[in-house]
Structure 1
Amino acid sequence: MRSKLKDKWLAAMAEELRALEDNGVWRVVRKLKGAHALHTKWVYKTKMDAEGAIERLKARLVACGNEQEFGVDYSVTFSAVIEMSSVKLIFVLARKWRVPAKHGDVPNAYVKADKEAELDIFLHLPRGMMIPEDVRRRLGVDNDSELVLELLKALYSLKQAGRLWNQLLHKTLIKLGFAQSLTDMCVYHRRREGILVVVGVYVDDLLVTGMEQQAVDAFFGELTELSIKDLGPASKFLGMRVSYDEDEGYDLDHELTIEEMLREHGMASVHSVRTPIGAESNEIDEASDELLPTSEGDGVVTVRKFQSLMGSLMWVERCTRPDIAYAVHKASRRTHSPTMSDWKLGKRIARYLAGTKSLRLSMKGQGASEEPLKVIAYSDADFAADKADRKSVTGGLLTVDGMPVSWVCKKQTGVSLSTMEAEHTAASVMATELLGVRELLGKLGITHASPMSLRVDNQAALKQLDGEGSSSKAKHIDVRIKFVGGLAKRGVLKAEYLESEKMPADVLTKALDAPRLADLRVIVGLH
């Protein structure tokens, strides 16, 4: 190890080994002839706080899960991750109840879960591990090469480790009286004496809020068997910087993540642009566009580099930046066979983020704590937007009490024959989003204003949904009309007209000029 922080990294490695041994993760055994043993490796990470300062150095020992064989040392795999819409809904509830959402973290979470009893998993001795002489004598071996570690618990990077940890956490929460949501399996809730507590789970990170601060604080005391850390009011969660003010509410941003992404891709000093995508993107001749190479080389832009950049952009967009959703959608259509134009678009999005990295997704809230939540969906479509196949683009935004919870930008699967049909398709997508939020709120026992509002900017589509328009030209989309119209008749939602100038979903369907983009950023909650 050549790092200037060598001594600190070695201390972090020793601390990790002690923690694993204290948790009874393995036992040292003599290697049996023909036994399949996995290698291990060390992963080093500098943990930062919400302001980007070094918090601590973390060394983690992981198994080489790529060496596992199905049926030999793993069978079923799964990792529990909460939907980002549910994360933002928890922040909405925290704002509604004026109880700051708290962040919980479980150190060495995976190693707390027992390994499957029917599977034998062995590891080669990790680098830096010293075996005492008395252990060698007891096992009758002369050197460490004859020894392996038999796993008793899960270890990071085992294919099944995430599932085993989730099973343990699930059993613990159920034992404490929590119920699991069917809409999002990573959302748990418990109501005691009328006080509701809501828990969101992203692997080993927990986001917790409730109707009363005391109930939230008590929850962390109930999880002592998992050694959960109460990190206090959330200040950084899943890469998002979280700012909370009792009067102003929440602000979420990815400024530090964006800066890190720019450094990793050699773009720390790039000149910014005012829009993430230009109108010229629709004029590219895709058939003659140059494909990116798969082989590595100095200065060569490869498929792997493109995928790395797009992964970062997609995460930022998904969490806090609806203003880049259309551009990311456009650039990520061919992630396995991207072209040079896709790479240039990806870099343009990054340059746009470089100039707007300080933008924050605002979650201020509009209603009083005792009022029902107001759930509104905005639906829009860009008819025949893709010149290659003439498929339309669906865009949609969903807000709860004026706070953005989820957004959608996706190409429609079929070819629409008219603007009205494209708008119907988009409306049906947002109707399902409304149903998802309605179901989740219903399971939590939280009231919302009824009917929920579905706002569209196409009068012909609105008349069809209300049953006022002629259906002779709309038989081929009858199912979608009946779906949304049926929800309207049952009082679940109400379709309403919103003029195009005020339609926030417009930012999710097309390339916009800088003034229009700036206006819509404010409307969708970016400041």
Structure 2
Amino acid sequence: MVLITWRLFLLWPVLTLFGFFSLLQLISLGLYIKNAFLHGDLHEKVYMDQPPGYVVPGQEHLVCRLRKALYGLKQSPRAWFDRFSAVVLAYGFHRSTFDHSVFVRHSSTGSIVLIVYVDDIIISGSDSNGIAALKQYLGQQFHTKDFGHLRYFLGIEVARSSQGLFLSQRKYVLDLLTETGLLGTRPSDTPMDSSVKLAGDTGDFFSDIGRYRRLVGKLIYLTVTRPDITYAVGVVSQFMHAPRQPHFVAVCRILQYLKRAPGRGLFYRPSSSLSVAGFNDADWAGNTTDRRSTSGYCTFVGGNLVTWHSKKQTVVARSSAEAEYRAMAHTASEMLWVQSLLQDFGFSVSTPMRMFCDNQAAIFIANNPVFHERTKHIEVDCHFIRDLLLRKQLVTPYVRSEDQLGDILTKPLARPSFLRLSAMLDMFDLYAPA
């Protein structure tokens, strides 16, 4: 499976809504840099042939040395980001050491957060005069296009009210259904049949491999705001090298599920608390082909979902406790990243962080100072988790299996459990009829 977290965009609600700015004062703008890669300065020696139509007569054997980046060069993305970073840092911003695409500036008049994705920029904060001055400054340095208040960003729709922010990809879903001819299909209640186990050697080969890969690729991008399809998309993405007919049927099942609620997305509420919590789970030996387990976790800040992850483990776990403990280690690492990011911006994070687990054996191993034969193969993870417990950065409370939010990221669920956990993730359809 693949990592289904687009941290860049989901950082924006985290850094703007959680109690530091009033929603009535919050300003969020979209900005676009035209011909961004052409602004990059090359520090390596790169040569190119003289372009057609501009060959100097008598000097056809000469080549041109590039001083600026061009589209198509491998160095162009890095050169552009180095130039952009230098411009923003010179204006008084500082770059996060935990996510280099995020810049922040605090002043007596307010705070400004800037997030960049290649040539698309989000500017958000409570300092309206500072944001206006920043836009003017960037316009002097680059050729920019101002999209105004943020409503649409790279296929993600933003709806704002006094209660919070809602992110969805409704238009993206409808376009995908139209492209595949499934706009009028019968909707499904869940993205994956809980009674079906996909294997790599069952069924006839799917004739159009390119179509399968394109569909799965578009579904992967859709998981930016749809954690409810994360597991199903992760499963079908495992067969992109040689898809078979049952795999394509599973992809169509995901599209049928999207048809039921194309406008479903994530809702972020303001909160005065920066408490970090995580839920982790593992489906022990769930893969029938190689018997590897699937890890899944989701993390919350102030009660709002910010990151999630679903991935097949790299080794075979010999017990459910081992599989769960490996998932705990990944969850703890993600929670530390979220905590460090918030602290990097000067926000105090309440500790200890809570990491909920539904496996009593894994919790006991985490709190047991004695190592023995049953834990030596995961000893590094044991030391990592136990060190966090001793420093009181982390606690591992028990949660009932029916309330374990990580279940939705590790296995296909029946309709009642799936709908209940989706609601607990604060997912709903803003466009559903009242």
Q: Partners in 1 of 2:265 and 2:366 — Cα distance?
A: 35
Question: Residues 427-471 of structure 1, C-alpha deviation per residue, up to 9 Å, x if partnerless?
Answer: 111001011112211211111111111111122222222228985
1:269 maps to 2:184: yes
**Which of 341, 344, 350 is equivalent to 2:249?**
344
- On the 8 A contact 2:102/2:116 being kept in 1, the answer is yes
Query: Which deviates more, 510-519 or 206-215?
Result: 206-215
Counterparts in 2 of 1:181-260, with a 5 A limit? 181-193=96-108, 195-223=110-138, 224-245=140-161, 247-260=162-175
- Please name the residue that 2:40 is paired with: 113
Go from structure 1 to structure 2 and tell me whether the alpha carbon gap of 1:173 and 1:479 turns closer, same or farther (over 3 Å shift): same
Letter in 2 for 1:254: Q
What's 1:44 paired with?
none
Query: Does the 8 A contact of 1:200 with 1:207 survive in 2?
Result: yes
**Greater relative contact order: 1 or 2 (C-alpha under 8 angstroms, separation 6 or more)?**
2
* Structure 1 position 286 matched with structure 2 position 191: no
User: 2:315 and 2:67 mapped to 1: Cα distance?
Assistant: 51
What is the CA RMSD across the aligned residues, in angstroms?
2.7
Q: Which runs of 5+ in 2 are unaligned?
A: 429-434
Cα gap change, 1:176 to 1:333, in 2 (>3 Å): same
Task: Select the residue among 321, 329, 332 that pairs with 2:226.
Answer: 321
| CA deviation profile, 1:68-109 (whole Å, cap 9, x unmatched) | xxxxxxxxxxxxxxx722421221222232323322211222
Match of 2:29 in 1: 102
What does residue range 351-370 of structure 1 map to in structure 2 within 5 Å? 351-365=256-270, 367-368=271-272
Distance 1:92 1:279 in 2: 33
Match of 2:7, SS state, is helix
- The whole-number CA distance in structure 2 between the counterparts of 1:387 and 1:166 is 44
* Distance change >3 Å, CA 194–CA 391, structure 1 → 2: farther
Q: What TM-score results when the alignment is normalised by the length of structure 2? A: 0.88
Contact 1:124 / 1:149 at 8 angstroms: preserved in 2? no
Letter in 2 for 1:264: E
| AA at the equivalent of 1:286 | G
**Bigger CA radius of gyration:** 1
How far 1:140 moved relative to its partner? Answer: 6.6
Count of aligned pairs: 417
Local SS of the residue matching 1:457: coil
Asked if the contact 1:460–1:469 (Cα under 8 Å) also holds between the matched residues in 2, the reply is no
Residue 381 of structure 1 aligns to which amino acid in structure 2? A
The equivalences for 1:56-75 within 5 A come to none
CA contact (8 A) 2:113 2:125 kept: yes
Quickly say closer, same or farther: Cα 1:212–1:494, change in 2 above 3 A: farther
Distance 1:108 1:260 in 2: 27
Provide TM-score, normalisation by structure 1: 0.73
Cα distance, 1:270 vs structure 2: 2.1
Could you tell me how far 1:516 is from its partner in structure 2?
1.4
Question: What residue number does 1:88 align with?
Answer: 10
Classify the secondary structure of the residue corresponding to 1:436.
helix
Distance, in Å, in 2 between the alignment partners of 1:405 and 1:443 is: 17
> Offset at 1:122?
4.5
Distance 2:106 2:193 in 1: 50
Partner of 1:306: 212
**2:314 aligned with 1:413:** yes
Q: Secondary structure at the match of 1:229?
A: strand
**Partner Cα separation in structure 2 for residue 455 and residue 194 of structure 1:** 39
Q: Which residue of 2 aligns with 1:378?
A: 279
Q: Tell me how far apart the structure 1 counterparts of residues 106 and 45 of structure 2 sit (CA, whole Å).
A: 38
CA deviation string 1:108-135 (max 9, x = no partner): 222233456732334755xxxxx8xxx9
Q: CA deviation at 1:285?
A: 5.2
